[in-house]
Amino acid sequence: MSTPYPFTAIVGMDDLRLGLLLNAVSPAVGGVLVRGEKGTAKSTAVRALSALLPELAVVAGCRFGCDPAAPDPLCPDGPHESGPGVSRPPRMVELPVGASEDRLVGALDIERALSEGVKAFEPGLLADAHRGVLYVDEVNLLHDHLVDLLLDAAAMGASYVEREGVSVRHAARFLLVGTMNPEEGELRPQLLDRFGLTVEVAASREPERRVEVVRRRLAYDDDPAAFAARWADEESALRARIVAARALLPEVRLGDAALLQIAATCAAFEVDGMRADIVMARTATALAAWDGRRDVRAEDVRRAALLALPHRRRRNPFDAPGLDEDRLDDTLERFKGEDDDDPDGGGDDGGSGGPDGPGGGGVPPQGGPEASDTPRESGAGRDDTPVEPGPESEREPEPAGGPGSTERSAGAGAGAGAGEQPAVPAAEPFRTKTLSVPGLGEGAAGRRSRARTEHGRTTGSRRPRGALTKLHLSATVRAAAPHQRARGRGGPGLLVRKDDLRQATREGREGNLVLFVVDASGSMAARARMGAVKGAVLSLLLDAYQRRDKVGLVTFRGRAAEIALPPTSSVDAAAARLESLPTGGRTPLAAGLLKAHDVLRVERMRDPARRPLLVVVTDGRATGGPDPVALAAHAARLHAAEGTASVVVDCESGPVRLGLAGSLAAALAGTAVTLDELRADSIAGLVRDVQQVGADHRRAGHNDRSRRAA
């Protein structure tokens, strides 16, 4: 977009604006992660920030943006002489979610390197972003191998490209800004920690404020240049304030009392490592400079904690981000030092003022509805929104009258209806055995099943289809060797042509679609059993999060099945739906399997490369509809006919067991595991693994003997 939307014209979003401006004042803060629902101006605000950043000096002609005052001695375009350089605006580089590794780190021309011995390197996005902004929209959807490269560059401040013995290294220090919708999945903890600050944004629920957002957006779309001109004075004033705060920053004093409060706060919230302490110190210092002060106060520490700690205190993927502000205030009060007193009244309102104050991001009053925004508005509205219950919570209970209407034991209710039972909390999650899809896939990178990927161990070679990315050197040499005499090569060396190049084929791991089909009928309604079942599914969800899978949730009870959660990358959403799942009624097992079949059919059309793993959590009883057992077997055979990998988690308990889950697994052409066997450290699982290994060895020995006899 040639004319970006003015930063000062953004309505509300005080925390978002403040977080971005603090990074403009002090890039050492480490970037911002913007979390929020779709359509909340996340990307607009980030792009608007780039127009506010002061110009920087670079070495003329350097593709890597070296600072002329201290040029990088190892710059591929160097060495450079120190000098005045030229000025240009800092770049804001956008990293697409589907970018290739070569596009991110740069690419070597392998053909020229082999045939001509020329080290021809084309810089990537990391080189373009050096001393600027690297913006990743939908950062939580970024492929794992790109995340690894970002982590390396952020940790070392440099990017390394190594291909077949040719190495290139260049500086890569950038302000990392990411936006994401939490409903689409969470970030890996390692990347989450690399963002200095995090802010939560949500659309305002006040009609007047929403009207102002629409009015300004329509005016901008009609004439971007004229709209930007109306806000030019405010933009200039804000840019001048950034420059003044940058100049004041080296003079800001961070006293021992403020440092003690920072350390005590990080310890109280049990964040990992020391990065949080350092980020809080830098953020508090930037806040003081932004307010035009030379000393850090307690209110600076408090606001720094609200920005720097929420995403670092997540102990597992199901913890909601955020801080207990009462606990924060108690900690700050307990470790308050003498230099926290403010004789002149504080100079600000501690983050609760209007947009002209520190909480409002320093945007001058514009007379619009945003002048009354509170700095925490962007965090409100998400925590207070309850999870919308599924249709089963509103369904009429099964007719009573039979013995199943009051049964709550594991085996009672198998053939009769049972009234709806309240939701049971899940048991503590545990580490599960690895479930995988057999065969070799070609899906998105992940950590579950074997697949052909761009990364992993080399398993062979092929002719390149399109651009060559991973050269198989020995295969290339073998392809070129027989043609040397025909090519007139009589002396030492090897003449390699394009037709000789071979692409390395690699095997790694892929992420799968794990579709859970959970029995919520009356036969599962015993509290001890349902709590254990939810704990097991929660454990599998945690495993799916760690292995970068998509997940979906189908439940069945009463008369029908429903999609509690369509396939998504957000295990948080699946965990929330599971926690609120009620139980009761008959067991329409066939309906659950058929609903899962429909879900998988649609997902195959959307993403044919992502292979599914069906996880059915049930005791195997089928009591809903006419001839329920035959219908369930027929539905199971539909999955088996399509080759869907299936696992049945047998929830049957008690001294007398019918083994129905095993029969269901056989019809699905899958495997059955009990709740105990699902644990990675279970004795039963270990015994079964040992027996399987022994059987494999015996089978291998038998095959060897057969071959020798033949």
Q: Detail the DSSP E strand segments found in 511-651.
A: 513-519, 550-557, 560-568, 612-618, 645-650
pLDDT of residue 376: 36
pLDDT of residue 652: 83
Sheet order of strands, 503-510 included: 445-453, 503-510, 457-462
Whole-angstrom distance, CA of residue 69 vs CA of residue 71: 6
Q: How confident is the model at residue 417 (pLDDT cuts 50, 70, 90)?
A: very low
State the virtual CA torsion across 336, 340, 342, 347 in degrees, nearest 10: -110
In this structure, the number of other CB atoms found within 10 A of the CB of residue 296 comes to 28
Q: Which residues pair with 441 in a beta bridge?
A: 451
Among 362-366, 398-402, 696-700, whose mean pLDDT is lowest?
398-402
Q: Which of 275, 452, 559, 637 is catalytic?
A: 275
Whole-angstrom distance, CA of residue 608 vs CA of residue 590: 25
Task: Tell me: pLDDT of 392 over 60.
Answer: no
Instruction: Examine residue 343 and say whether the peptide bond preceding it is cis (omega within 30 degrees of 0).
Output: no
pLDDT of residue 591: 92
Q: Do residues 180 and 34 make contact, with C-beta atoms less than 8 angstroms apart?
A: yes
pLDDT of residue 532: 86
Task: Tell me: pLDDT of 211 over 50.
Answer: yes
What average pLDDT does the segment 626-650 reach? 92
Q: For residue 183, give both structure tokens.
A: 């409903």
Residue 275 annotated among the catalytic residues of the structure? yes
Whole-angstrom distance, CA of residue 388 vs CA of residue 368: 33
The residue with greater pLDDT, 321 or 250, is 250
In this structure, the number of other CB atoms found within 10 A of the CB of residue 659 comes to 11
Phi, psi (rounded to 5 degrees) for 432: -100, 160
State the number of CA atoms in the 13 A half-sphere of 173 facing the CB: 12
Q: Which residues pair with 618 in a beta bridge?
A: 650
| Amino acid in the structure at residue 612 | P
Q: Is 381 exposed, middle or buried (0-12, 13-18, 19+ CB in 10 A)?
A: middle
What average pLDDT does the segment 15-25 reach? 92
Q: What is the DSSP letter of 420?
A: P
Q: Do residues 43 and 31 make contact, with C-beta atoms less than 8 angstroms apart?
A: no
CATH class of segment(s) 421-437+512-679 = alpha beta
Q: For residue 68, give both structure tokens.
A: 């002329």
Task: Tell me: pLDDT of 596 over 60.
Answer: yes
Within 26-173, residue ranges assigned H as helices are 42-50, 101-105, 110-115, 125-129, 144-156
pLDDT of residue 522: 79
pLDDT of residue 524: 74
Q: For residue 98, give both structure tokens.
A: 């589907």
Q: Do residues 449 and 441 make contact, with C-beta atoms less than 8 angstroms apart?
A: yes
Nearest to 675 by CA among 653, 656, 707, 703: 653
Q: Do residues 348 and 298 make contact, with C-beta atoms less than 8 angstroms apart?
A: no
255-264, 337-346, 578-587: which is most confident: 255-264
User: How many residues are recorded in the chain?
Assistant: 710
pLDDT of residue 314: 60
Instruction: Kindly state the helix (H) or strand (E) to which residue 179 belongs, with its residue range.
Output: strand 175-180
Task: Tell me: pLDDT of 689 over 80.
Answer: no
What average pLDDT does the segment 617-629 reach? 85
pLDDT of residue 419: 56
| Amino acid in the structure at residue 664 | L
Task: Tell me: pLDDT of 349 over 70.
Answer: no
Among 198-202, 470-474, 625-629, 635-639, whose mean pLDDT is lowest?
470-474
Q: How confident is the model at residue 420 (pLDDT cuts 50, 70, 90)?
A: low
Q: For residue 175, give both structure tokens.
A: 């302000």
In this structure, the number of other CB atoms found within 10 A of the CB of residue 473 comes to 15
- Residue 396 makes CB contacts below 8 A (sequence gap 6+) with none
What average pLDDT does the segment 129-140 reach? 88
3-class secondary-structure state, position 579: helix
The domains of the chain are located at: 421-437+512-679, 445-510
Q: Do residues 416 and 587 make contact, with C-beta atoms less than 8 angstroms apart?
A: no
Task: Tell me: pLDDT of 584 over 50.
Answer: yes
What percent of the chain clears pLDDT 90, i.e. is strictly above it?
A: 26
Among 196-205, 262-271, 345-354, 511-520, whose mean pLDDT is lowest?
345-354
Task: Tell me: pLDDT of 366 over 50.
Answer: no
Task: Tell me: pLDDT of 542 over 50.
Answer: yes
pLDDT of residue 283: 95
Pairing state between β 121-122 and 107-108: antiparallel
Residue with tokens 């207990």: 324
Whole-angstrom distance, CA of residue 154 vs CA of residue 173: 7
The residue with greater pLDDT, 351 or 243, is 243
What average pLDDT does the segment 338-343 reach? 50
In this structure, the number of other CB atoms found within 10 A of the CB of residue 475 comes to 20
Whole-angstrom distance, CA of residue 162 vs CA of residue 101: 12
Task: Tell me: pLDDT of 379 over 50.
Answer: no
pLDDT of residue 682: 55
Give CA 485 to chain center in angstroms: 54
pLDDT of residue 155: 75
pLDDT of residue 315: 56
What percent of the chain clears pLDDT 70, i.e. is strictly above it?
A: 78
What average pLDDT does the segment 354-365 reach? 41
Q: Do residues 584 and 522 make contact, with C-beta atoms less than 8 angstroms apart?
A: yes
What average pLDDT does the segment 352-376 reach? 39
Task: Tell me: pLDDT of 667 over 90.
Answer: yes
Task: Tell me: pLDDT of 360 over 50.
Answer: no
pTM value? 0.66
Average pLDDT of every residue of the chain: 78
End-to-end Cα separation, the chain, in angstroms: 72
What average pLDDT does the segment 94-120 reach? 74
The residue with greater pLDDT, 408 or 151, is 151
Nearest to 631 by CA among 581, 595, 601, 600: 595
